[in-house]
Structure formats: structure tokens, C-alpha cells
């Protein structure tokens, strides 16, 4: 596997591959890689001739400075993991390489970046759009792979490529889970063993909520999640919403014509976790 830290070197490599008409698949990440990330690498390898993975902890998407400082960083381990997955290139740029000057771009995604994580983490999706736009311009992939664990993010990225007038195909990939059902996340490594144990209740809560939506109502499911999370002192609910899966508008009733999705964000101790589950 090749490792590039400089844009110019990566571009020279890509120029050669593109001159041979090789298709390029791109998997942007913030590192501390787990099998969820590797599933995106595998999807890219199946669909494209060359797979590039970037590892870059993007400062502009963190609205909380301590969260940025605490974010796990383990580039050597990531490189070994990617090598085992037969990834072709690891792009590991510095902050100065990505942002030679401050990026002041303000994006407007309408309702999409004002709800859920957009509302609870002000500026987060603007930062995500800044870095993904920059990375897309550097790599120029044919396809880019994103995980449905960050469901709202996939929608933002699809809106971004539309705004950029870009032909990059955005491929969304299913959530990979630990054996106990917890969605894999780099942040899971920050949990203490007690917090990890508590976190493993999240997928069961989501499944129970889905059942309550089907048997009773959306409001009963919301009340259930509020009450269950309140019972655990180290859990703090940020939001639990049931939304139209196409627009993210909150819905109050299930409609057989439209897909609905439950989305949750909550703190376990100091660590913020997210998950989602299709309801219908
Ligand atoms: P991150 O490093 O957390 O920014 O994630 C990089 C990419 O991996 C994003 O597209 C995430 O949605 C995706 N990802 C993270 N966790 C998972 C998971 N458990 N299953 C599938 N994809 C994931």
C-alpha cells in the first residue's frame, strides 16, 4: 500500500492511473479504523480499480474543542489495518495540507443541515462539507463510499455533489455492528468498560422503539426512549426522532407510502454516540 501525505504526490499517482482509464473509489475517514470502515474499502475495491482511503481528523467539523482533542488518533495501526484490507493508497495529510488558509465557505443545505445533528452540533455539517469538497477536489474519484451509520451525513454529501455539479457517485453502505449490536464507531474505543456495557443497550432500545411504533404510536416510542435513557444516570439523550427517510422531516404517524427512520444521538458518559434504524 502506498502512503501519501502530500497532495502533489497523490495527484501524480492519480494522474497516471486515470491516464490508464482506471476508476477511482474513495473512502474518506477520520481514522481509528474498525471493520465498519473496512466494509467501505471492500465495497470500493469491488466497484473500482483503485481504492484511496483518507485519514484526516477534520478540525472544522468539531463544534466542541475537547471532543476534537479527545478524538482517537492511531495512524500506524490504521495503516496496518488498511494494508491487510488490500487498500491501494492511504492519504494521510496534515491540517496545513488540507487548509493552507482558513476555509470560510458557508454551505446552505436548507432544512437538511438544520435538523437532528445539524441542530445539535451547530456548524458540524458545514465543516463536513468543507473537508469533503476539498478531498473530492484533490482525489477526483468516480465513486465515494459513505456509511449509513451517519445517515444524515450521506444526505448532506449527496446534496453537496449536486451543488458542486459533480458527477461523483455517492454509494451508501450498511451499518456494521459489534456482536452485541452496538454500531461500530471510532468513539467506542473511548468508552470505559462500564460505559461500553451501557452502550450495548442502544440497539435493543432502538428495536424496542420500532416495535412500539408498530404496535402503538410514534409518540409512545419517543416517550419510551426518553424514560429508558433517564433511568441510566450516565446516559443523556440528545435526540430521538422518527423521520421521513427521504427528507428527514419529523413524522407523527407511519404512512405505508413512505419509508420512516428512527435516529438517536445520546451521551454515554462524555462520549456522544449515534445510531439509526429503518422503521418501515
Ligand atoms: P468516520 O471515520 O467516523 O468519519 O467515518 C468514516 C466513514 O465510515 C463514514 O462514511 C462513516 O459513516 C463510515 N462508518 C463509520 N462507522 C460505520 C459503521 N459502523 N458501519 C458502516 N460504516 C461506518
Domain ranges of the chain: 2-173, 186-274
**Whole-number Cα distances in Å, 84 to 31, 45, 80:** 15, 13, 6
97-113, pLDDT tens digit by residue?
999 999 999 999 999 99
- What pLDDT score does 188 carry? 98
CATH code: domain 2-173 is 3.40.50.620
- What pLDDT score does 95 carry? 98
Q: Is 136 in the pocket of ligand 1 (CB under 6 A)?
A: no
146-175, pLDDT tens digit by residue?
999 999 999 999 999 999 999 999 999 999
Distance CA 100, CA 43 (A): 32
Quick one: 65 exposed, middle or buried, by C-beta within 10 A (0-12, 13-18, 19+)? exposed
Instruction: Give me ligand 1 centre to Cα 185, in Å.
Output: 7
| Averaged pLDDT, 226-233 | 98
Atom of ligand 1 nearest to the CA of 148: 12
Q: Residue 181 CB: number of other CB atoms within 10 A?
A: 14
Burial annotation 136-158 (CB, 10 A radius, 16+ → b, else e): bebbebbbbbbbbbbbbbbbbbb
The answer regarding whether domain 186-274 maps to CATH 3.40.50.300 reads no
Q: Is 30 in the pocket of ligand 1 (CB under 6 A)?
A: yes
Atom of ligand 1 nearest to the CA of 37: 8
Closest CA to 124 of 164, 152, 92: 152
Secondary structure E strands in the chain: 2-4, 24-29, 50-55, 89-91, 143-147, 169-173, 235-244, 260-268, 271-278
Atom of ligand 1 nearest to the CA of 175: 20
Instruction: Give me ligand 1 centre to Cα 188, in Å.
Output: 12
Secondary structure E strands in 47-115: 50-55, 89-91
Place of cell 482525489: 139
| pLDDT band with cut points at 50, 70 and 90 for residue 221 | very high
- Read off the pTM: 0.98
Amino acid at each position: 500500500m502506498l502512503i501519501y501525505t502530500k497532495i502533489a504526490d497523490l495527484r501524480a499517482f492519480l494522474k497516471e492511473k486515470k491516464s490508464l482509464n482506471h476508476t477511482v473509489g474513495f473512502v474518506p475517514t477520520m481514522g481509528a479504523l474498525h471493520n465498519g470502515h473496512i466494509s467501505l474499502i471492500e465495497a470500493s475495491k469491488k466497484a473500482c480499480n483503485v481504492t484511496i482511503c483518507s485519514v484526516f481528523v477534520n478540525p472544522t467539523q468539531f463544534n466542541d474543542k475537547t471532543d476534537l482533542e479527545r478524538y482517537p488518533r492511531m495512524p500506524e495501526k490504521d495503516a496496518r489495518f488498511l494494508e491487510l484490507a488490500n487498500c491501494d493508497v492511504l492519504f494521510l495529510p496534515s491540517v496545513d495540507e488540507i487548509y493552507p488558509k482558513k476555509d470560510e465557505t458557508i454551505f446552505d443545505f436548507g432544512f437538511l443541515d438544520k435538523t437532528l445533528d445539524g441542530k445539535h452540533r451547530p456548524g458540524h455539517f458545514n465543516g463536513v462539507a468543507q473537508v469533503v469538497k476539498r478531498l473530492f477536489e484533490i482525489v477526483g474519484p468516480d465513486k465515494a463510499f459513505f456509511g449509513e451509520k451517519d445517515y444524515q451525513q450521506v444526505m448532506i454529501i449527496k446534496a453537496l455533489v449536486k451543488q458542486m455539479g459533480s458527477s461523483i457517485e455517492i454509494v451508501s453502505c450498511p451499518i456494521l455492528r459489534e456482536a452485541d449490536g452496538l454500531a461500530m464507531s471510532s468513539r467506542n474505543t473511548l468508552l470505559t468498560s462500564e460505559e461500553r456495557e451501557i452502550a450495548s443497550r442502544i440497539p435493543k432500545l432502538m428495536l424496542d422503539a420500532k416495535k412500539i411504533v408498530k404496535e402503538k404510536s410514534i409518540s409512545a416510542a419517543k416517550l419510551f426512549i426518553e424514560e429508558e435513557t433517564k433511568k441510566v444516570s450516565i446516559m443523556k439523550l440528545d435526540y430521538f426522532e422518527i423521520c421521513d427517510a427521504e427528507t428527514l422531516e419529523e413524522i407523527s404517524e407511519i404512512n405505508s407510502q413512505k419509508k420512516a427512520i428512527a435516529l438517536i444521538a445520546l451521551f454515554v458518559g462524555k462520549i456522544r454516540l449515534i445510531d439509526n434504524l429503518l422503521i418501515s
